[in-house]
Chain A
Amino acid sequence: MLRLDRVSVSVGTPDGDLVLLHRTTLSITERRVALIGGNGSGKSTFARLLNGLVEPTTGRVTVGDLDTVDDGPSVRRAVGFVFTDPGAQLVMPTCLEDVALSLRRTVKDKRERLRQARAILDGIGLGDKADTTVHALSGGQKQMLALAGVLATDPQVLVADEPTTLLDLRNTRLVADRLFALPQQLVLVTHDLDLAARCDRALVIDEARVVFDGRPDDAIAHYRASVDAP
């Protein structure tokens, strides 16, 4: 269970404090939850709170019994994170090494690590790309590889920050189908309202506040109305 308890986030700027998320309390138990809202609304901040990439200025964020500030390393192991731009997430020279990097903590033997990484690549249809540079992959392949790299750490929860925004329709479907087939709890930040509709619950975030929380259909209607309203 993910829980935000009176959480707010702000950063100091030369022009004073900038609030990225106003005081929010809620818990997430549903299997799939969508976060929707405009650019700069605070969706990414919300998502990054969940695995400790952003720490709350006030309040507490907990994942099960773990506090994202006090138990940072354990939280990051429990909560996987997929970024919008897979280019930023793929950090090693070759596909194989990138997946193997995720296995570093759990598999100490290097040879065994590479063997498992190869099996994971085979599983997402990139087996023949093991030794090619990650920059030679297509956008969809990169995002699938990034996802595989995150899943290799075996997280309990997966947070994905607009994972399909940079992809074409075919690759969006490929990545989305993979995400929705996962057994893990999924928190999905997205501009793709079709994807949001497939979730169990949706939060609409606007100007650093959660302005709607409920069934995806209602949330989408609320979001559309807020954009259409003058």
Chain B
Amino acid sequence: MSPELISAYRPGSTLLHRIPAGPKLGLLAAYGVVTVVATGPWTAIGFLAFSLALVVWVRIPWRTAVRALRPLLLVVVLVTAFQVWQRGWPAAIHVVGDLLALFVAALVFTATTRIDALLDAIVRGLGPFRRVGVDPEKVALAFSLMIGAIPGVMTIARETRDAAKARGLERDPRALLVPMAIRTVAHAYDTGAALHARGIGDD
């Protein structure tokens, strides 16, 4: 019913798969800084080639990579044209090359990192914030609750849309959105009651 939520994670055993999620995110951030600091068209081409090599290394199928890049395509074309017109080819290659290099590297990150591994890393990273009132256990619960709630909310959205259609109101945004929002809030209160009934979150 929901093919929408297929994660881009691809199991594998390369070094990139095995680096823990937290440090890997750090590496990605560092890479971002490096692309900003190092300027020039040739370095940008080098970065892009490096990122693409990572794609080959962790075996992301090209079709997947291209599909992920699609939302960026229009921007890339527009910006290339604009930069070439304003400042010439070298500047265009520098800007667009850096952008794509970092974007592709981030795709590689997602392809080699399990969602729950990164969420666990976030929860661990929150440990030091315990003293300012952040409860990592509660954050972890929130992550699971949210992921658990998506299919339910999606069903609510679909049912209210069908209900509006059945009454010939599919063009009326209020007939679509008001019941969806109200049922979502009711669902949230039910979830809260269910958690309470199971004695969770009292302590």
A residues lining the B interface (CB < 8 Å): 51-53, 72-73, 76-77, 80-81, 83, 85, 87-93, 97-98, 101-102, 104-105, 133-135, 149-150, 153
For A53, give its contact among B152, B196, B202 (CB under 8 Å): B196
User: Are B198 and A149 in contact, with the CB atoms below 8 A?
Assistant: yes
For B195, give its contact among A72, A73, A91, A97 (CB under 8 Å): A91
- A51-B197, A53-B197 in contact; A73/B203 too (CB < 8 A)? yes
For A134, give its contact among B148, B191, B196, B197 (CB under 8 Å): B148
Q: How far is the CA of A217 from the CA of B155 in the complex (A)?
A: 41
Q: Which 6 A-B pairs have the closest CB atoms?
A: A81-B197, A88-B190, A73-B202, A76-B199, A135-B151, A89-B194
Which residues of B lie under 8 Å from residue A51 when comparing CB positions? 197
Q: How far is the CA of A80 from the CA of B198 in the complex (A)?
A: 7
Q: Does B187 contact A (CB under 8 A)?
A: yes
Please classify the interface of chain B as helix (H, G, I), strand (E, B), loop, or mixed, using the class held by over half of its residues.
helix
How many residues on chain B are close to A (CB under 8 Å)?
23
For B200, give its contact among A88, A101, A133 (CB under 8 Å): A101
User: Are A93 and B144 in contact, with the CB atoms below 8 A?
Assistant: yes
User: Are B202 and A93 in contact, with the CB atoms below 8 A?
Assistant: no
For A87, give its contact among B1, B144, B152, B198 (CB under 8 Å): B152
User: Are B194 and A91 in contact, with the CB atoms below 8 A?
Assistant: yes
With both beta carbons as reference points, the residue of chain A lying nearest to B188 in the complex is identified as: A88
Q: How far is the CA of A51 from the CA of B193 in the complex (A)?
A: 11
Which residues of B lie under 8 Å from residue A93 when comparing CB positions? 144, 147-148
With both beta carbons as reference points, the residue of chain B lying nearest to A155 in the complex is identified as: B199
Q: Which of B138-194 contact A (CB under 8 A)?
A: 141, 144-145, 147-149, 151-152, 155, 187, 190-191, 193-194
Which residues of B lie under 8 Å from residue A76 when comparing CB positions? 196-199, 202
